[in-house]
Amino acid sequence: MRITENANLKEYNSFGTSCIAQRLFHLKKETDVHEYQKHPDGYPKHKLLISGGSNILLGSQIKGSVAKIEWDGIFILEEYENHVLIQVSAGHSWHDFVIWAIDHEFGGIENLSLIPGHVGTAPIQNIGAYGVEAKDSIESVRYFNWNTGETEKISNKDCKFGYRTSIFKTIRRNNGVILSVNFQLTKNNHNYNTEYGAIREELKKYGLKKSLSNISKVVITIRNSKLPNPKLLGNAGSFFKNPVVGIDQLKILQKEYPKIPFYKQSNNQIKLSGAWLIEKSGWKGKSHKDAGMHNKQALVLVNHGNSTGEELWEFAKRVKRNVQKKFQIKLEPEVNLIEIEA
Ligand SMILES: Cc1cc2nc3c(=O)[nH]c(=O)nc-3n(C[C@H](O)[C@H](O)[C@H](O)COP(=O)(O)OP(=O)(O)OC[C@H]3O[C@@H](n4cnc5c(N)ncnc54)[C@H](O)[C@@H]3O)c2cc1C
């Protein structure tokens, strides 16, 4: 376990904002979590766990300790005729795991290609894209509980997954560390999901048949054409969640905006497009100093250069206020605010 004093987390977060952490602990193996917990400057002064850093907006300073999840590995636990059970360590790159699964002809996560971040964080906000969510393949989560010092196995059902949420965002928030995630993937009879977004049209356009690798390739092409690469333009993907409203609120909105896009959810709720609301409020492509909303995807907050986390949040709050004024809808951040007052 390596420790750095006054570490700048700029290279560890996808917004590329500067943040000086009093102490940064690099947890290289799973057992380093126990060492960190016992270290007098470790868990007793704990402020933040950081993994891939692609879903956080950091304030300029963290007075305390940050633990960085760095252990990785993929292990096949059990193999059956039709499916396989795989354990993946928390610090493993999500996209590398997806590609590994496709190379082994294991299905279920191909639509989630190219999502940045690590495997251990995938259950936290139940990452999703193109009609598929991590919850569809997660069997269970291994979790180290800070309070009890015990490692627990939390079943899919007990993770209480929902749209961009899980128990790790509610009652288990900041309560422990996800050590690894178990996935159940298909070995044959794959359930290809090509209905969402432009996947089907893209497959047709290139004359590709439905397969795990072709779906992944198409998803990668679509994502690259739409979303800014954080290595070139600081961002954390969708900054706000798509708001979910009741049918009555949709009807009120439809009177004034008959073309408002909406997606019916299974529980009689309606998901609206946050990007559409932001665009109609006039914020798509707008910026102030180095903070802005992306010109192709209005839901993505971007750092054009040297914004601080606080400046980005101030800008995002202006967008949020305007959307609320125009549509009476409150946008909630999908990204985790760290040492920034919400
Ligand atoms: C360009 C771009 C596109 C994106 N597209 C999508 C998308 O399509 N769908 C989607 O769902 N998301 C998307 N995201 C968001 C992001 O990639 C995911 O939320 C990802 O799972 C975050 O992983 P991370 O390892 O980077 O998390 P981090 O940002 O490192 O951490 C996120 C939170 O989890 C906590 N945490 C970190 N590790 C652990 C652990 N082991 N145990 C417990 N808590 C922990 C942190 O303290 C923090 O609060 C996108 C982001 C970017 C930059």
What CATH number did the domain enclosing 279 receive? Answer: 3.90.78.10
Distance (angstroms) between ligand 1 centre and the Cα of 121 equals 5
- β-strand pairing of 138-145 with 262-264: unpaired
Q: Kindly state whether residues 116 and 169 are assigned to the same domain.
A: yes
Q: Report the atom number in ligand 1 closest to the C-alpha of 51.
A: 30
What CATH number did the domain enclosing 149 receive? Answer: 3.30.465.10
The CA dihedral of 148, 153, 155, 156, to the nearest 10 degrees, is 100
Asked whether the beta carbons of 118 and 51 are under 8 A apart, the reply is yes
Cβ of 273: how many Cβ atoms within 10 Å?
17
Q: Is the CB of 107 under 6 A from ligand 1?
A: no
Q: Kindly state whether residues 11 and 43 are assigned to the same domain.
A: yes
Q: Is the CB of 122 under 6 A from ligand 1?
A: yes
Residue 243 corresponds to which amino acid? Answer: P
Q: Kindly state whether residues 100 and 186 are assigned to the same domain.
A: yes
Q: Kindly state whether residues 141 and 109 are assigned to the same domain.
A: yes
CA separation (Å) from 15 to 24, 56, 62, 90, 233?
Answer: 19, 8, 16, 21, 8
Q: Which residues contact 306 (CB under 8 A, 6 or more apart)?
A: 290
Ligand 1 pocket mutation, candidates 27, 43, 112, 121, criterion most atoms within 8 A of CB: 121
Q: Please report, for the chain, how many H helices and E strands are present, in that order.
A: 7, 20
Asked whether the beta carbons of 106 and 186 are under 8 A apart, the reply is yes
User: Which of the listed residues 226, 246, 276 is the one where a domain comes to its end?
Assistant: 226
Distance (angstroms) between ligand 1 centre and the Cα of 55 equals 4
Asked whether the beta carbons of 110 and 99 are under 8 A apart, the reply is no
Q: Is the CB of 127 under 6 A from ligand 1?
A: yes
Ligand 1 pocket mutation, candidates 48, 115, 302, criterion most atoms within 8 A of CB: 115
Asked whether the beta carbons of 17 and 10 are under 8 A apart, the reply is yes
pLDDT at 218: 96
Q: Kindly state whether residues 56 and 184 are assigned to the same domain.
A: no
Q: Kindly state whether residues 47 and 149 are assigned to the same domain.
A: no
Separation between Cα atoms, residue 13 and residue 32, nearest integer Å: 22
Distance (angstroms) between ligand 1 centre and the Cα of 126 equals 10
**What tokens does 149 get?**
């010092």
Range of the domain at 287: 234-338
Separation between Cα atoms, residue 253 and residue 77, nearest integer Å: 50
Q: Which residue lies with its CA nearest to atom 2 of ligand 1?
A: 237
Q: Is the CB of 55 under 6 A from ligand 1?
A: yes
What CATH number did the domain enclosing 42 receive? Answer: 3.30.43.10
Distance (angstroms) between ligand 1 centre and the Cα of 204 equals 32
Distance (angstroms) between ligand 1 centre and the Cα of 114 equals 12
Cβ of 59: how many Cβ atoms within 10 Å?
17
**What tokens does 209 get?**
């048949």
Asked whether the beta carbons of 61 and 20 are under 8 A apart, the reply is yes
Q: Which residues contact 251 (CB under 8 A, 6 or more apart)?
A: none
Closest CA to 234 of 21, 10, 62: 10
Separation between Cα atoms, residue 110 and residue 164, nearest integer Å: 18
- Any idea what the Cα angle at residue 108 is, between residues 130 and 184, rounded to 5°? 140
Q: Kindly state whether residues 216 and 283 are assigned to the same domain.
A: no
Category of 164 on φ-ψ map: left (φ > 0), alpha (ψ -120 to 50) or beta:
left
Q: Report the atom number in ligand 1 closest to the C-alpha of 228.
A: 1
Separation between Cα atoms, residue 329 and residue 179, nearest integer Å: 37
User: Which of the listed residues 173, 194, 226 is the one where a domain comes to its end?
Assistant: 226
pLDDT at 265: 84
Q: Is the CB of 301 under 6 A from ligand 1?
A: no
**What tokens does 159 get?**
């993770």
Q: Kindly state whether residues 240 and 221 are assigned to the same domain.
A: no
User: Which of the listed residues 34, 69, 104 is the one where a domain comes to its end?
Assistant: 69
Q: Is the CB of 56 under 6 A from ligand 1?
A: yes
Separation between Cα atoms, residue 299 and residue 278, nearest integer Å: 7
ipTM, two decimals, is 0.99
Q: Kindly state whether residues 180 and 100 are assigned to the same domain.
A: yes
Distance (angstroms) between ligand 1 centre and the Cα of 7 equals 21
pLDDT (tens, 9 = 90+) of the chain, 342 residues, equals 999 999 999 999 999 999 999 999 999 999 999 999 999 999 999 999 999 999 999 999 999 999 999 999 999 999 999 999 999 999 999 999 999 999 999 999 999 999 999 999 999 999 999 999 999 999 999 999 999 999 999 999 999 999 889 999 999 999 999 999 999 999 999 999 998 778 999 999 999 999 999 999 999 999 998 899 999 999 999 999 999 999 999 999 999 999 999 988 877 899 999 999 999 999 999 999 999 999 999 999 999 999 999 999 999 999 999 999 999 999 999 999 999 988
pLDDT at 68: 98
Number of domains in the chain: 3
Give residue for tokens 């993994």. 51
Give the active site residues: 164, 238, 334
Ligand 1 pocket mutation, candidates 43, 49, 65, 113, criterion most atoms within 8 A of CB: 49
Residue 187 corresponds to which amino acid? Answer: K
Q: Kindly state whether residues 144 and 190 are assigned to the same domain.
A: yes
Separation between Cα atoms, residue 342 and residue 320, nearest integer Å: 12
Q: Is the CB of 125 under 6 A from ligand 1?
A: yes
Q: Kindly state whether residues 210 and 267 are assigned to the same domain.
A: no
H or E element in which residue 324 lies: helix 309-327
Separation between Cα atoms, residue 64 and residue 265, nearest integer Å: 41
Q: Kindly state whether residues 168 and 104 are assigned to the same domain.
A: yes
